[in-house]
Structure 1
Amino acid sequence: MELTVFGATGGIGREIVRQALDAGHGVTAVVRDPARLDAGGPRLKVFPADLSDPDALRPAVAGRDAVLSGLGARRKADAGVAARLTRVVLAAMEAEEVRRLLVVSAAPLGAPAGRDPLPDRAMTALVGAVLKDVYTDLRAMEEALARSAADWTAVRPPRLVDRPLTGRYRTAVGANPRSARVIGRADVAHAMLAMTADPATVGRGVGVAY
């Protein structure tokens, strides 16, 4: 496949690029600073952009089989960037008639698959209160996806950690796995690549967790 990756220098985006190249896909990495992206061989194209102009992004998405986005707030002060930047990506995709889009959201936006134990529910409530603005931003992003013509999937991980790729995790379409507490960024990237060609995930939020 030919893929475009936004947020390619972030924790998940970098893993998407690496794993996609390892799998033999062609990758266009959209980045603000190309110097932050490791060399990736002849199948990697680096596309510098500041993500402010949909028209400027059209060459980055034209003719691609799918677009994967790791865009989002890296700290509370960044709340608002996920919805704003995703709208720009959606506009560029619509102009080029590219439909498949996968984005990173967060577990608190999904419903639990079953009744979680009380400690898990209490922790979810606490994190939701502390990161309220970040989750409001992600909710606005998902609302923009739902209004769009894209074949979108919102991948909803719980707390992210840096761990080696395992390929062993749980997923739940339209919900969160029970007691979803943590997942490695490399496995989120793995899940997103696996879902790219999965029609069951189109137009849905998908929970992922160990």
Structure 2
Amino acid sequence: MFGANSSTGRHLTEQALGAGHTVTAVVRRPEAFPLSGPQLRVHAADVFDKAAVEEAVAGSEAVISILGVPYQRKPVTVLSRGITHITDAMAAHGVKRLVAVTSRLLAVHAPRSEGEKPLYERFVYRRLLYPFLTTLGRTLYDDMLRMEHIVRATELDWTLVRPSALYNTDVVSDYHFGPPESPGLYTSRIDLAHSLLHEVTENSHVRSVVSVFTTEGVPTFGDVLKKEVMRIGSWEHK
């Protein structure tokens, strides 16, 4: 698992270990990773380091990528270079199953793929909110799109998972999978983690792009804008 020390990654690690899986958590600073256990291997690697990535992937049955970086003006290459090293390592070691997280905002930011419908949402979101966010995060979404193209070009058994706006809860709730244009504004991180574990074990959407969104107990738009975009305040549950 790449991006294991993210909030989603820590949820996913706990869920995978609880289900009896052996997990390799790939992180840059192992000493900062808060989880441990007999079936957990914490591996130090930077995704820019091709050799370290290849060592991390060796012996795995599947790979999950939750790579991400904050919005910034500088060009972003972490996702595209990281996924290149990951997919190359998978090919070298015969690992076929890949699940990678991108974003539902790519349905607004990028030209639609063949057969993909326009993102359906209320006017204020489609015309005001999404253009604002995709402008603010342009360099991130550009690299995320490059990452998707790299994954799609491989011969791996891949799934690209596009969550909606992320927020924190501490209980897995009712969530839904759907095509990229499915309506649904929010995805809790713990639901996203659960969906990734489902995908990597059940192989439900191989060589497909799917959205995942939470349908119960969702926050207000104001909460997500303040706490996730503007970083004002914090969620009651981390």
TM-score, with structure 2 as normaliser? 0.79
Name the SS for the 1:138 alignment partner: helix
Alignment of 1:204 with 2:201, yes or no, is: no
Q: 1:202 to 1:9 in 2, by over 3 A?
A: same
Query: How does 1:91-170 map onto structure 2 within 5 Å?
Result: 91-110=88-107, 115-122=120-127, 123-170=129-176
2:15 paired residue number:
19
State the distance in 1 between where 2:100 and 2:73 align.
20
Counterpart amino acid of 2:164? P
CA drift at 1:197: 3.0
> Cα deviations across residues 127-160 of structure 1 (Å, max 9, x unaligned)?
2222121111100000000111221111101111
TM-score, with structure 1 as normaliser? 0.89
Counterpart amino acid of 1:145? V
Q: 1:77 to 1:48 in 2, by over 3 A?
A: farther
State the distance in 1 between where 2:117 and 2:213 align.
12
State the distance in 2 between where 1:27 and 1:66 align.
10
State the distance in 1 between where 2:181 and 2:97 align.
22
State the distance in 2 between where 1:117 and 1:170 align.
19
Larger Rg: 2
Q: 1:128 to 1:75 in 2, by over 3 A?
A: closer
State the distance in 1 between where 2:79 and 2:11 align.
19
User: Which residue of the other structure, out of 35, 59, 82, is the alignment partner of 2:55?
Assistant: 59
Aligned length: 204
Gaps of 5+ in 2: 108-115, 215-238
